[in-house]
Structure formats: C-alpha cells, structure tokens
Amino acid sequence: MTELVVRRLLVDMQAPIARHWCGGDAFRTALFNALSMSFPVGEQFFIDSVRKGLNALTPGEQARFRAEVQGFMGQEATHRRLHSLYNAHLEQLGLVNEWDARARARLKLLEHAEVRHWLAITAANEHFTAILAEFLLRNPDLLGDQDPRLATLWLWHSAEESEHRCTAFDLYQALGGDHEWRVRWMKRITTIFLLDTLRQTVLNLRRDGTLWRWSTWRSAASYLFGRRGLVRRTYRPWREYFRRDFHPGQQDASASHRWLADHAHQYVPVGA
Ligand SMILES: [Fe+2]
Ligand SMILES: [Fe+2]
C-alpha cells in the first residue's frame, strides 16, 4: 500500500490572478484554467468513488486499504479547496465555467451504477491526470515565471496526482473489476475529457478576446504538437493503459518524488 501524506500548501490564494498568468501566453493560460474548472466536481466524484469502493470491500480488505483511501481523499479534498479559490478568481476575470454543469449532469446518470463503474471511471481519469502531471513536472518552465504561486500550485497538485495514481485502480481490481470494462471506460473518458477540455479552452479564449489571434494558434500548435508537445509526450503512456497487464505503479514517478523532496519548504504535512 502507498503511504499518502496530506499536505497544506503554503500559497496565498487570496491575491487575484492575472489575465495571462501563464508566461503571458493566452492559449496555455486558457488551457490550464479550463482544467482547473473541472477539478472541484471531478475530484469530489473521485473522493466519493474511493469511499464507496472501500465500503464495498470485505472487512479484511478494508483494513488493508483504509489508510491509503483516507490519504487519497485528504489529498483530493485539498486540491478541490485550492482550485475552488483559483476558480473564483477566474470568475472575477469574466470567465464562465460550463464544464462544471455538464459534468454534474453526466454524473447524475451514474447515481445508481455499480461501484466498479465509478472506480473504472475514476481510475481512467486518474491515469490521465498522472500522465499530465508527469509531463508538467518534467516541463515546469511551461508554467512561466509570472506567478510563482500558481506554478507551485500546479506542480504540487501534479506531484500528488502522480503519488496517488494507483489507489482507484487497486480498489477496482480488489473488487473484481475486469479488463474489458476498464478499457471500455478509458475509451469513453478519453473522448469526453478531450472534448470537454477543448470546449472550455475555446470558451475561455473567446471570453478573453484572444481566440482569433495568430499568436494563440501558434502557441496551441507548438504546445500540443511541437517537439516537446503535450500530445507527442503523453500518447505512449496513455496507450499503456490498454495493456492487459498494465498497472499504474509501472509508470515512472521519479519527477514527483523529486519535486516533493526539493520543495518541502512550500508545504506542511497535515497531522504530522
Ligand atoms: Fe487532484
Ligand atoms: Fe487524483
């Protein structure tokens, strides 16, 4: 079992967020802001999934998972809280979060679904966040240096996503979840996640008045498809998930360990 530490991040989320906080780049700012908008609703669902999963286990298995699940819930709850403060600043900038309502409507359809569906959806999303996290931890300069507080927030969140990447997956397997459904949900989540990200990013750019600027599209092309591009760098780890013998623990998490060790002055472990 993984030991998951809950950390209180020492950043000031009261100070406002600049319009193009991410290196002055409209596209990257809009993309990160879009992802932030999805977190409060998404992370609440992940918390509910692992809680449900834990309750569905036998008492012996519950004892094995309890501490890890509590750590997972604590980490996601902290992410939610800080990203809610972040998102309130985005509202002040005139951005409108449409992703949240769409996700809530979709999750309503799952209300009575079996717990393994919840966990397969959570595990797929967690794989996405873990590979994005690893990408970000290896390319921290893409966050720019205009707002060190937000760069720290994204890297801390990334480090913890990488750290707890096995929890939902292990619960799914402990409850007898099979390979076919795991893969089926990954395909669906990939489509939903990419479309939602695209829609919210475009909406953010439109509200920002920068959607039709040449510099926006040039940045999008290079950030997504360039030599160090997000799509190019994450395609392979994304595909790994479809292997029958895949386990998230096989993926490299050294960048996460390194960040947490090098930035211990920027957080306080809770309950330590
Ligand atoms: Fe998170
Ligand atoms: Fe997570």
Residue type, 247: H
Least-confidence region, from 141-150, 195-204, 263-272: 263-272
Above 80 in pLDDT, residue 2?
no
Q: List pLDDT tens digits, range 142-152.
A: 999 999 999 99
Tell me the C-alpha to C-alpha distance, in Å, between residue 42 and each of 28, 85, 99, 124: 21, 16, 10, 12
Tell me the C-alpha to C-alpha distance, in Å, between residue 230 and each of 59, 134, 250: 42, 11, 21
Q: How confident is the model at residue 272 (pLDDT cuts 50, 70, 90)?
A: low
The rounded Å distance from CA 215 to ligand 1 centre is 30
* Mutual angle of helices 26-56 and 167-174, in 10-degree steps: 30
User: What residues have CB less than 8 Å from 199, skipping those under 6 apart?
Assistant: 98, 99
Q: List pLDDT tens digits, range 19-44.
A: 999 999 999 999 999 999 999 999 99
Question: What distance in Å separates the CA atoms of residue 272 and residue 270, rounded to the nearest whole number?
Answer: 5
Least-confidence region, from 55-59, 165-169, 179-183, 250-254: 250-254
The rounded Å distance from CA 37 to ligand 2 centre is 15
Residue type, 8: R
Q: Which of 227, 208, 219 is nearest to 33 (CA)?
A: 208
The rounded Å distance from CA 79 to ligand 1 centre is 5
Q: Is 184 exposed, middle or buried (0-12, 13-18, 19+ CB in 10 A)?
A: middle
Above 70 in pLDDT, residue 189?
yes
SS3 10: coil
Question: What distance in Å separates the CA atoms of residue 141 and residue 138, rounded to the nearest whole number?
Answer: 9
Phi, psi dihedrals of residue 209, rounded to the nearest 5°: 80, 20
Q: List pLDDT tens digits, range 124-136.
A: 999 999 999 999 9
Above 70 in pLDDT, residue 230?
yes
β partners of residue 7: 269
The answer to whether the beta carbons of residues 17 and 82 sit under 8 Å apart is no
Question: What distance in Å separates the CA atoms of residue 87 and residue 37, rounded to the nearest whole number?
Answer: 6
The rounded Å distance from CA 156 to ligand 1 centre is 10
The answer to whether the beta carbons of residues 144 and 151 sit under 8 Å apart is yes
Q: Which ligand is nearest to the CA of 162?
A: 2
Structure tokens belonging to residue 80: 């939610």
Least-confidence region, from 176-180, 207-211, 250-254: 250-254
Tell me the C-alpha to C-alpha distance, in Å, between residue 115 and each of 36, 72, 134, 181, 186: 26, 17, 28, 12, 16
The rounded Å distance from CA 210 to ligand 2 centre is 31
CA 165-255-266 angle, to 5 degrees, is 95
Residue type, 241: Y
Above 80 in pLDDT, residue 15?
yes
Mean pLDDT of the chain: 95
The rounded Å distance from CA 23 to ligand 1 centre is 23
**Token pair 């993984």 in the structure block, residue:** 2
Question: What distance in Å separates the CA atoms of residue 242 and residue 231, rounded to the nearest whole number?
Answer: 17
The rounded Å distance from CA 76 to ligand 1 centre is 5
Q: Which ligand is nearest to the CA of 122?
A: 2
Tell me the C-alpha to C-alpha distance, in Å, between residue 187 and each of 121, 142, 226: 10, 28, 25
